[in-house]
């Protein structure tokens, strides 16, 4: 792993986003370190998705600072430029190429800038084969590599998409509700998988499933009405009276 360039990988300060006068984010501040995993929780409408949208350049904040690696101003870049910096996002619904094999999906992600047909017809270099093997192993799909992606279970499709994101070697992965729709076994394995990824890359994961968040065993930030309501260990955040009132106690 390369040495951190700055102490903070992602730095949001005082970020506000208004939609027709409604404040979806309200002076939100958050800092995520290199190779840190952070779980974001909070009730519906708390601003979790809007925060991810600001980080990825989909939504421009009305106010505030959003820096990546201390120098890149995310509020001034478009989505493609932000992806290029090394921020990858995974939405809740997996979007894999269902008709292609699992390993071809990874190959396509490795060569995102080339046409799919040229990619699939060309010979794979030894380096590519090695990278595909490592990525498949990492996302627990080695034994499924020749199956069509469309035949995988919902959980396996989520892992495949995480593998496709990892192919781009992001420094920060944003993952939206990975455990939704997964079996208990898949949920537990996903927590293990993300913990493994967070050894080398930062991960911000939005999730409502508290069993899963407990398994992640990382610092938790609870959002409410566009701001940070509480931050700390899951035990500390769960014991916070306001968090119980607006979210966990419901
Ligand atoms: N494009 C938009 N136009 C108007 N209002 C919006 C827009 N996007 C989000 N909002 C509003 O901003 C608030 C925050 O929404 P956001 O989707 O960020 O919350 P969330 O924490 O991700 O919720 P959930 O857990 O339901 O996904 C909500 O009240 C939502 O209705």
Compute, in angstroms, the gap from residue 224 CA to the centroid of ligand 1. Answer: 11
- Predicted TM-score (pTM) above 0.80: yes
Compute, in angstroms, the gap from residue 59 CA to the centroid of ligand 1. Answer: 12
Ligand 1 atom with the shortest distance to the CA of 46: 21
Ligand 1 atom with the shortest distance to the CA of 50: 18
Compute, in angstroms, the gap from residue 28 CA to the centroid of ligand 1. Answer: 14
pLDDT in tens, 121-147: 676 777 888 999 999 999 999 999 999
| Contact by Cβ (8 Å): 92, 39 | no
pLDDT in tens, 170-211: 999 999 999 999 999 999 999 999 999 999 999 999 999 999
Ligand 1 atom with the shortest distance to the CA of 20: 4
* Secondary structure of the chain as H, E, C letters: CCCCCCCCCEEEEEEEEEECCEEEEEEEEEEECCCCEEEEECCCCCCHHHHHHHHCCCCCCCEEEEEECCCEEHHHCCHHHHHHHCEEEECCCCCCCCCCEHHHHHHHHHCCCCCHHHHHHCCCCHHHHHHHHHHHHHCCCHHHCCCEHHHCCHHHHHHHHHHHHHHCCCCEEEEECCCCCCCHHHHHHHHHHHHHHCCCCEEEEECCCHHHHHHHCCEEEEEECCEEEEEECHHHHHHCHHHHHHHHCC
Domain topology for 10-96+168-248:
Rossmann fold (3.40.50)
The tens place of each residue's pLDDT in the chain, 250 residues long, gives 454 455 699 999 999 999 998 999 999 999 999 999 999 999 999 999 999 999 999 999 999 999 999 999 999 999 999 999 999 998 887 789 999 999 999 999 987 666 666 666 676 777 888 999 999 999 999 999 999 999 999 999 999 999 999 999 999 999 999 999 999 999 999 999 999 999 999 999 999 999 999 999 999 999 999 999 999 999 999 999 999 999 887 6
Instruction: Give me the residue spans of the domains in the chain.
Output: 10-96+168-248, 99-151
ipTM of the complex: 0.94
């Amino acid at each position: 792993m390369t040495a951190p360039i700055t102490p903070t990988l992602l730095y949001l300060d005082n970020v506000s986003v208004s939609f027709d006068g409604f404040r979806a984010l309200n002076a939100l501040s958050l800092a995520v370190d290199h190779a840190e995993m952070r779980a974001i929780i909070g009730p519906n409408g708390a601003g979790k998705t809007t925060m991810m949208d600001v980080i990825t350049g989909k939504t421009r904040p009305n106010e505030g600072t959003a820096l990546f690696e201390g120098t890149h101003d995310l509020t001034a870049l478009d989505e493609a430029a932000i992806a290029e910096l090394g921020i990858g996002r995974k939405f809740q619904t997996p979007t894999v190429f269902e008709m292609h094999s699992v390993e071809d999906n990874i190959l396509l992600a490795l060569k995102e800038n080339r046409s799919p047909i040229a990619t699939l017809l060309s010979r794979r270099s030894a380096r590519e084969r090695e990278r595909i093997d490592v990525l498949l192993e990492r996302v627990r799909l080695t034994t499924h590599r020749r199956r069509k992606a469309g035949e995988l279970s919902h959980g396996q499709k989520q892992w495949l998409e995480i593998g496709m994101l990892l192919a781009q070697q992001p420094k920060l992965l944003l993952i939206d509700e990975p455990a939704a729709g997964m079996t208990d076994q898949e949920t537990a394995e996903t927590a293990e998988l993300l913990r493994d990824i967070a050894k080398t890359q930062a991960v911000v994961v939005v999730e409502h499933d508290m069993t899963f968040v407990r398994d992640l065993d990382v610092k938790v930030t609870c959002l409410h009405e566009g701001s940070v309501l509480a931050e700390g260990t899951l035990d500390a955040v769960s014991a916070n009276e306001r968090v119980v009132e607006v979210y966990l106690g419901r």
